């Protein structure tokens, strides 16, 4: 029997999620410096940034079958090294083609880290604590996502962004040694890749329902991160740096909410928390629609982030409970569908913005939130069965 220390393994998952937060945000933080350094126009900048989500999608699709076949130690170490090589490449290499490879590696490593840490936290948790542990994992994402721009903002007056990225890479290397040193749960599938099981999962109605919910969840989070600054620029007479600072309140709202959820998910039914979160996010978005100064915009973004925080932890908890024997592959499929939603809904917002103006942004967000509410209402019995299973097992 493979004896592992649950707390040490959970710390490893939290470290990996911090790195995903860094990977997901780092391009937005250093893009202005890269744009100035290489004299890139808007098209050039976009071509660089677009490689990150492509890598994240690939990593999200690949990690599940690898985890179920080979376990977590190998994947956590390799995905962290991919992210490390990509981040170090941004600071050391001058060739734009090599930088593109580095950005893809950041996305690939980040996508694998995101999926594998969620699956790992789910696997080592019993049904009662699964949602709570996944919420704390979400807090770790917020630490990484808020930490890297904060570090760059504070230290950029004294150090180049290359120096900061290099030191971040050193921390990642030390973490790889930690991953190698500790024991992880054994692989679920001893021989062969679980391609047959993965194909069967595509036909699972319950998994598809939950993945479809995450399709909109990821899309809403991505839209808020990507389009809020453009929306506010047309309404608030402040500089771009101040608007970007206001956007950090969205991540802050999610982080604070997940800290609270780590307790609430132990005592309140998950479906109630999901519906309450959607209504809170709708409230925040309505306030954003009428926000004409930065303070109200920051408050609205905090409320929106606070409401959206429950989506991923609760649904991933459901998936981990329902598909324990092949949780990595199931969560991987759900993550892939979720990130596809992020990409497609951002394209849709671009079309809506061109056709109806950027002022339609809050309305689009509210429509997507209401679609999520409809998914919950129409599938409440199926989701309640998963929730009841969790309660009975404890």
Provide the CA 389 distance to its chain's centre, in angstroms.
27
Q: Which residue has the higher pLDDT, 16 or 126?
A: 16
CB-based burial, 83-108: b 16+ in 10 Å, e otherwise: bbbbbbbbbeeeeeeebebbbbbbbb
> What percent of the chain shows pLDDT beyond 70?
87
Asked if 28 and 34 count as a contact pair (C-beta separation under 8 A), the reply is: no
Q: How far is CA 27 from each of CA 38, 103, 117, 220, rounded to the nearest angstrom?
A: 15, 8, 21, 20
Residue 355 CB partners (closer than 8 Å, separation 6+): none
> Positive or negative, the Cα torsion across 121, 123, 129, 135?
positive
Query: Taking Cα atoms as reference points, which of 189, 25, 185, 199 lies closest to residue 119?
Result: 185
CA–CA gap between residue 111 and residue 89 (Å, rounded) = 18
Output the pLDDT for position 5.
92
Confidence of residue 394 (pLDDT cuts 50, 70, 90): very low
Q: Give the tens place of pLDDT for each residue, 331-362.
A: 888 999 998 998 889 888 888 888 888 888 99
Q: What is the mean pLDDT of residues 137-160?
A: 80
Nearest CA-CA partner of 218 in 283, 287, 311, 125: 311
Is 118 in contact with 316 (CB distance < 8 Å)? yes
Q: 338-367 burial string, b = 16+ CB within 10 Å, else e? A: bbbbbbebbeebeebbeeeebeebbebbbe
The CA radius of gyration of the chain, in Å to the nearest whole number, is 20
Q: Which residue has the tokens 């069965």?
A: 385
Task: Please give the pLDDT value at position 50.
Answer: 72
Q: What is the band of 284 on the pLDDT scale with cuts at 50, 70, 90?
A: very high
* CB distance 250 to 374 below 8 Å: no
Residue 20 tokens read as 């995903």
The token duo for 334 is 């759900």
- Cα–Cα distance for residue pair 329/343, rounded to 1 Å: 21
Q: What are the pLDDT digits (tens) for 267-277?
A: 888 889 999 99
Would you state the pLDDT for residue 70? 83
- Identify the pLDDT of residue 373: 95
Residue 80: how many CB atoms within 10 A of its CB?
25
- Joined together, the tokens standing for residue 176 give 């790889």
Q: Which of 222-231, 305-314, 315-324 has the lowest mean pLDDT?
A: 222-231
User: Could you report the per-residue pLDDT of 5-33, keeping only the tens digit for each?
Assistant: 999 999 999 999 999 988 887 766 676 66
Contacts for 308 with CB less than 8 Å, ≥ 6 apart = 217, 220, 221, 224, 254, 277, 281
Contacts of 262-266 spanning 24+ positions with Cβ under 8 A: 262/132, 262/133, 262/135, 262/136, 262/139, 263/132, 265/131, 265/132, 265/135, 265/313, 265/314, 265/317, 266/128, 266/129, 266/131, 266/132
Give, for 254, the enclosing helix (H) or strand (E).
helix 240-264
**Per-residue pLDDT tens over the stretch 29-55:** 676 667 777 776 656 666 666 788 888
Q: Determine the Cα–Cα distance for residues 57 and 62; give it in Å rounded to an integer.
A: 9
User: Considering only CA atoms, which of 14, 19, 25 is closest in space to residue 150?
Assistant: 25
pLDDT greater than 90 at residue 191: no
pLDDT over threshold 80, residue 136 = yes
Count the residues in the chain: 394
Give pLDDT tens digits for 42-93.
566 666 667 888 888 889 888 877 888 888 999 999 999 999 998 888 777 7
Kindly give, in sequence order, each residue whose CB lies less than 8 Å from that of residue 13, ignoring residues fewer than 6 positions away.
117, 120, 121, 124, 137
| CA atoms within a 13 Å half-sphere pointing along the CA-CB vector of 304 | 31
DSSP H helical ranges for 124-204: 130-155, 161-181, 195-201
């Amino acid at each position: 029997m493979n004896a592992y220390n649950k707390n040490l393994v959970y710390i490893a998952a939290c470290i990996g999620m911090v790195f995903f937060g860094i990977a997901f945000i780092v391009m937005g933080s250093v893009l202005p410096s890269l744009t100035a350094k290489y004299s890139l126009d808007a098209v050039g900048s976009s071509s660089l940034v677009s490689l990150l989500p492509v890598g994240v999608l690939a990593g999200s699709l690949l990690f599940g079958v690898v985890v179920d076949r080979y376990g977590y130690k190998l994947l956590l170490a390799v995905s962290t090294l991919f992210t490390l090589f990509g981040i170090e490449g941004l600071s050391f290499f001058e060739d734009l083609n090599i930088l593109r490879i580095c950005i893809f590696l950041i996305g690939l490593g980040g996508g694998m880290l995101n999926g594998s840490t969620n699956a790992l936290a789910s696997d080592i948790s019993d049904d009662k604590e699964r949602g709570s542990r996944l919420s704390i994992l979400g807090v770790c994402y917020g630490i990484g996502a808020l930490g890297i721009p904060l570090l760059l903002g504070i230290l950029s007056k004294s150090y180049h962004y290359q120096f900061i990225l290099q030191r971040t890479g050193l921390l990642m290397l030390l973490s790889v040694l930690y991953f190698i040193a500790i024991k992880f749960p054994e692989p679920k599938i001893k021989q062969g890749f679980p391609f047959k099981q993965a194909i069967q999962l595509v036909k699972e109605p319950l998994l598809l329902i939950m993945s479809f919910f995450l399709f909109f969840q990821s899309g809403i989070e991505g839209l808020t991160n990507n389009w809020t600054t453009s929306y506010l620029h047309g309404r608030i007479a402040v500089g771009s740096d101040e608007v970007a600072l206001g956007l950090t309140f969205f991540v802050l709202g999610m982080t604070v909410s997940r800290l609270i959820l780590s307790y609430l998910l132990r005592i309140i039914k998950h479906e109630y928390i999901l519906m309450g979160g959607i209504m809170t996010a709708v409230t925040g978005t309505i306030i954003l629609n009428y926000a004409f100064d930065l303070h109200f915009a920051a408050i609205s973004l905090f409320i929106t982030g606070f409401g959206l925080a429950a989506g991923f932890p609760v649904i991933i908890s459901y998936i981990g409970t329902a598909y324990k024997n092949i949780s990595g592959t199931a969560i991987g499929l759900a993550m892939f569908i979720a990130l596809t939603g992020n990409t497609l809904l951002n394209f849709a917002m671009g079309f809506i913005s061109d056709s109806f103006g950027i002022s339609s942004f809050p309305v689009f967000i509210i429509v997507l939130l209401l679609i999520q509410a409809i998914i919950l209402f129409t599938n409440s019995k199926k989701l309640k069965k998963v929730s009841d299973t969790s309660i009975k097992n404890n």
